[in-house]
Amino acid sequence: MKANRLKTILGSARVWTVLVLAAWAVQVQAAATTLTVWHAYRGKEKAAFEKVVANYNKQAAAKGVEATTLAVPYDAYADKITAAVPRGKGPDVFIFAQDRLGGWVEGGSTVEPIGFFLDDKTRNQFLPSMLEAMTYRNTVYGLPLNYKSITLIYNKKLVKVPPKSSGELVKLAKSLTDAAAGRFGLAYAYNDYYYHAALQNAFGGRAFDPGPKPVLNAPQNIAAMKLLLKWIRQDAILPAEPSTALITSLFNDGKAAMVFSGPWFLGEVAPGLDYGLAPLPTIDEAGGKPMRPWLTIEGVYVAMSSRHKEAAYDLAKYLVSEEAGLVLAVEGRQLHTNKAVYTHKAVADDPVLSAFRKQLDTATPMPNFAEMTVMWSPATTAMNTIVRGAARPEVALEKAQRTVEKDVAALRKGR
Amino acid sequence: MKLRALLTQPATLGLLLAVASGVLLSEWFFAQAQDELLAERQERAVVMQAMALADQVAAVEAAAPDSSAPRLAALSRAWSARFSDIVAIRVVRSADAQFLASTDPRDVAPLPRQLAREEKPLYDLGQELRANVETNAAEGVFRKKQIDVARLDRTRLRVAVPYAVGGQVLGFVQVEQRVAAPALPPATGRVAVAIAAPIALFLLAAAAAWRRGRTAPPGRPWAQFGVALLLLGAALYGEARDGLAELGARHERFAVELAQQYTAAKREFESATQALAVKAVTDNRWDVDDYQRPRAIIGADGSVDRIALADELGARATRVTRGLWGNAALSVLVLGFVAFGYARRLRLTLVEHKIAYRYVAPAILGMLVLVFFPFIYGVTLSFTDTTLFNENLPLRELWVGLKNYIVILGDFQVIRGTEGGWVVNYQNFYWTLFITIAWTVCNVTIGVSLGLLLALALNTKGLRFTNVYRVLLILPWAIPNYITALTWRGMFHKQYGVINQVIQMFGGEPVSWFDGVFTSFLTGIATNGWLSFPFMMVITLGGLQSIPQDAYEAARVEGASRWQQFRHITLPYLRPTLIPAIIISVVWTFNMFNIIYLVSGGEPAGSNEILITQAYKIAFEKYQYGYAAAYSVVIFMILLVYGVFQNRVTRATEAIA
């Protein structure tokens, strides 16, 4: 009996040792580098992105690197990054627009500077001003992935030839406007500073001077406001209280002939509505200079808490390469930042992609300072006050300037 | 057992605890201060040498950038030889990722060469220092550290100082040095005396009073407390004086040592100056703080400026004394708590109800972690100046006391007279408070009235389809208010909104709802009224069910009218149900963020903001976390006062007689 029991115990001990050793061996082999990528894409973009990452995994399997993606809902995305990465719980790579970059760099311990890995070949593969958006205080923090800006979207049934100058725009819009019937020639969210920036930049206006120093009350900004008021009051080509929901429904009902909006608008256009895209017109009042919309550039960042920074950079480099860019552009309908992508027929012949590429020639990246966030609320208040006629542009902008200066100074306390 | 009785008096125990905690805590404060002093002295020593070296490196680089490496190597070797404490010197030109010189044998030779992949931290450090110098210059404030100090262990420091050529920061010099860490003599003797002496004196005094027949223990608590307080004060004062004297002596000694070190560095610098074209040193620009601002304590000739030294010691001492005052307050509290018998009462309660306490313990723990800790953190934050830019600094450095509260509550400039008429400052706290109170009062009135009316209507005997009506009337509450708020916002649109179209149908003029302060206010009231009546209706319905029917029968028999029945039977019976519901509704409506943010957005020009949306904007759009925390604490105080007051005045939770 005893011998039997001993044998059973020994036998099982042997079996267990073998099992444990095997498991350990398997684990050692499978202990490849796993990279986590966070993004906030949905639908087609998400599918295209996951396809690109799968391609990367095929190539990187030889090095033992595997990347997994996680789609985070957009509302909570920025806060999740801000909370998770400094505590070491975040991803290795994440994709985000450049507007939060300044805030993250000032807060510290979120974004890893990657200037060290950047070689000239990578630097030169991007369209102009893309890398600039990823740079804060002359340090490069991410690789630009795609860009978005607003452009002129028009209903082909109502508008045969898109206007090239503001004079043509006003003439055309007036002929298509019947305010009593609720029809307008032009509709865009003109009380949103982001959209208004296109008009303001044409005059040479800006929110911040290098420093960054707020200059909301610059004379060029006031001139841009005056032009906007002319469009609303004298020319009466714009609807009142424009919200994005209103603009979309007006355009879809055929009640708005032209719209200034970006790629996000195209997904909401009613099927069957024949629309065209054209670059934003030039502004006669600004000496024929073109409207220069702000670019929102999404970048691929390496998280500071990542344990495999070089592998993460490798993945980032792949995502902005020509191969990945083609998939993202054609299938994900993204406007990729790699110059080479636009030489492919599939992209060059696409009306939407080529239209936004043309708009890029006159677009400018939105500033990525941390101080930008304190600018939005006073600027929006000023816009609403001016548009409603409750205050003159000079007065409202002066008030906004004082508020922003005060808030920026409150942020920058010296030691 | 006289001695035993003496020893177990609450006052004795209290004095023991208070003195022990007070003395030990003040020792801890002084230990912290001494550690800080030592750390600073060590840093300053290394920073001085690194700054001198950086000057020379800048000169070499400026003279011949392409062939600077051999001269830099020679320079580093000379410094290492002259100062035996130096472990390693590295020179990195991060502008083009070049590793120029190093005396550390672990760095792969031959130098100069490109930085290797694993040396990325050196490149990043150089870029960070350059960016910080440029930021401070561009913004005109010193808020980013221009010198990087890393402590490797108690006796080794690594300091990186940027060097600039032609006004541009090109790279940095990193010096790793061993520093002395002299230990302080232990203060056990002082601590023992400070704790034992007051106890002994107190016991003697108590015994003397007892012998003279004045009081038998436990005796008069206030007198004992007074004597104990005096002795506690004396002990803590003695501790403080001793500690400060020790701090001052060490401070002076360190200053003298640093002056000597400066002289040595200057001599080494001058001996190499002939080979390099560097300006002679006329002022001490090497003894700097982390922002490369000269401390101005040691002069260029190695003399110590006594006045500046005394100022610095004064600043340090003030910081410690602030802690000591807090400590003293804590000790007095402990003394009072024990001496007046509260501690004993607490102990007896815990023992008597220990089973109950065990049941409640998990809830207490949960509340502590989930409610009290965040609350206390918020309150602490409100006394600081935390913003996005400085949130990784310790709270101690950002302390501003009551400044945030004074700015919020002391700003009385609500209305100004200008040429255009009266102008209201909509960001002012008192305007926002006025709007919030008006908002709350209107909404609760409407909600309660509507809810009461509908509940009475639904409660009619013999009404058919009550279930259907009830479901329909609950819908506004059931649908997420985020969606309904946006829908209502659309309905108030000037041209396309339903409400204006209905008004036009009846021949009126369309109203620009969001253009006027009052009309914008009405939009919120309408939306929130629609959202809040179901809650009141449900509560009232429940309350109505519990009214005894024979009261109505008796009233009918007596000939009371319907209105009289309502006033004298229904309302009093509803009071215990309605009043708590009203208190809840007031608190919810006071903080109703969604409706204000989504429907009117505070339009026009921020005039319809309520306190909570203001706090949100301050925290998440202006990133001023400390100020927003103060705002939230003010909101909390208002609601607390209201809740306590309302409960007292209406004796709401008491049942009907």
Which candidate from B97, B123, B142 shows the least CB-CB separation from A415?
A: B142
Per-residue confidence (pLDDT) for residue A373, from 0 to 100 = 83
Can you give the pLDDT at residue B189?
A: 85
Cα A25 to Cα A69: distance, rounded to the nearest angstrom: 27
Q: So what's the pLDDT on residue A10?
A: 64
Give yes or no for residue B543 having a pLDDT over 70.
yes
Write the pLDDT tens digit of every residue in B571-619.
Answer: 888 888 888 888 889 989 999 999 999 998 877 788 899 999 999 988 8
| A18 vs B387, more confident | B387
Arithmetic mean of pLDDT over chain B = 87
Closest-approach residue (CA) in chain A for B602:
A381
Question: Closest-CA residue in chain A for B489?
Answer: A243
Average pLDDT value for residue range B454-471: 86
pLDDT of residue A402: 93
Report the pLDDT value the prediction gives residue A31, as an integer from 0 to 100. Answer: 54
Q: In what order do the strands lie in the sheet with A275-278?
A: A184-187, A256-261, A151-155, A275-278
Provide, as residue numbers in chain A, all residues whose Cβ is less than 8 Å from the Cβ of B392: 107-109
Residue positions counted in chain B: 657
Distance of CA B415 to the CA centre of its chain: 31
Q: What is the arithmetic mean of pLDDT over B423-446?
A: 91
Q: For residues B103 and B175, is the Cβ–Cβ distance under 8 A?
A: no
Residue B469 pLDDT > 70, yes or no? yes
Does B117 reach chain A within 8 Å, measured CB to CB? yes
**CB of B388 within 8 Å of any CB in chain A?**
yes
Q: How far is CA A205 from CA A51, A196, A223, A286, B362, in A?
A: 42, 11, 9, 11, 60
Residues of chain B contacting A117 with CB distance shorter than 8 Å: 120
* Residue percentage of chain B with pLDDT more than 70: 96
What CATH number labels B35-178? 3.30.450.20
* The pLDDT of residue B300: 80
Q: Give the nearest chain A residue to B138 (CA atoms).
A: A211
Predicted confidence pLDDT, tens digits, chain A (415 residues): 566 776 666 666 677 776 777 666 555 555 578 999 999 998 889 999 999 999 999 999 988 999 999 999 988 898 899 889 988 889 999 999 998 899 889 888 899 999 999 999 999 999 988 999 999 999 999 999 999 999 999 999 999 999 999 999 999 999 999 988 889 999 999 989 999 999 999 999 999 998 889 999 999 999 999 999 999 999 989 998 898 889 999 999 999 999 999 999 998 899 999 999 999 999 999 999 999 999 999 999 999 999 999 999 999 999 999 999 999 999 999 999 999 999 999 999 999 999 999 999 999 999 998 888 889 889 988 998 999 888 899 999 999 999 999 989 888 876 5
What would the 3-class secondary structure string for B285-345 be? Answer: CCCECCCCCECCCECCCCCECHHHHHHHHHHHHHHHHHHHHHHHHHHHHHHHHHHCCHHHH
CA pair distance B540, B453, nearest whole angstrom? 9
Nearest by Cα to B598 from B484, B444, B437: B484
Domains of chain B, by residue range, sit at: 2-18+193-371, 35-178, 372-412+624-657, 425-622
Query: Which chain A residue has its CA at the smallest distance from B515's CA?
Result: A388
Other C-beta atoms lying within 10 Å of the C-beta of residue B27: 17
- Provide mean pLDDT across the span B645-653: 72
Contacts of residue B142 in chain A, CB cutoff 8 Å? Answer: 414-415
pTM for the whole thing? 0.83
pLDDT tens string B396-419: 778 888 999 999 998 888 887 777
Which tens digits make up the pLDDT trace of B514-536?
Answer: 888 899 999 999 999 999 999 99
Put simply, whether B392 touches A (Cβ < 8 Å) is yes
**A381, A397, A406: which to substitute to probe chain B, counting the most B Cβ within 10 Å?**
A381
Nearest to A414 among B123, B142, B515 (CB): B142
Q: How confident is the model at residue B215 (pLDDT cuts 50, 70, 90)?
A: low
| Residue B647 banded pLDDT, cuts 50, 70, 90 | confident
Give the pLDDT score at B18.
Answer: 92
Numbered residues of chain A with Cβ closer than 8 Å to any chain B Cβ = 103, 106-109, 113, 115-117, 137-139, 182, 210-211, 239-241, 243, 245-246, 309-310, 370, 373-374, 376-377, 381, 384-385, 388, 390, 407, 410-415
Report the pLDDT value the prediction gives residue B654, as an integer from 0 to 100. 59
Which of B127, B169, B501 to mutate to test binding with chain A, by most A CBs within 10 Å of its CB? B127
For the segment A165-203, what is each residue's pLDDT rounded down to a tens digit? 999 999 999 999 998 888 999 999 998 999 999 999 999
Please tell me the predicted confidence (pLDDT) of residue B219.
61
Instruction: Provide the ipTM.
Output: 0.83
CATH topology for B425-622?
MetI-like fold (1.10.3720)
pLDDT for residue B653 is more than 60: no
Chain A residues near residue B515 by CB distance under 8 angstroms: 388, 390
Cβ neighbors of A110 (< 8 A, separation 6 or more) are A81, A82, A85, A86, A104, A303, A304
Q: Quick check: B515 and A239 CB within 8 A?
A: no
Are the beta carbons of B389 and A411 separated by less than 8 Å?
Answer: yes
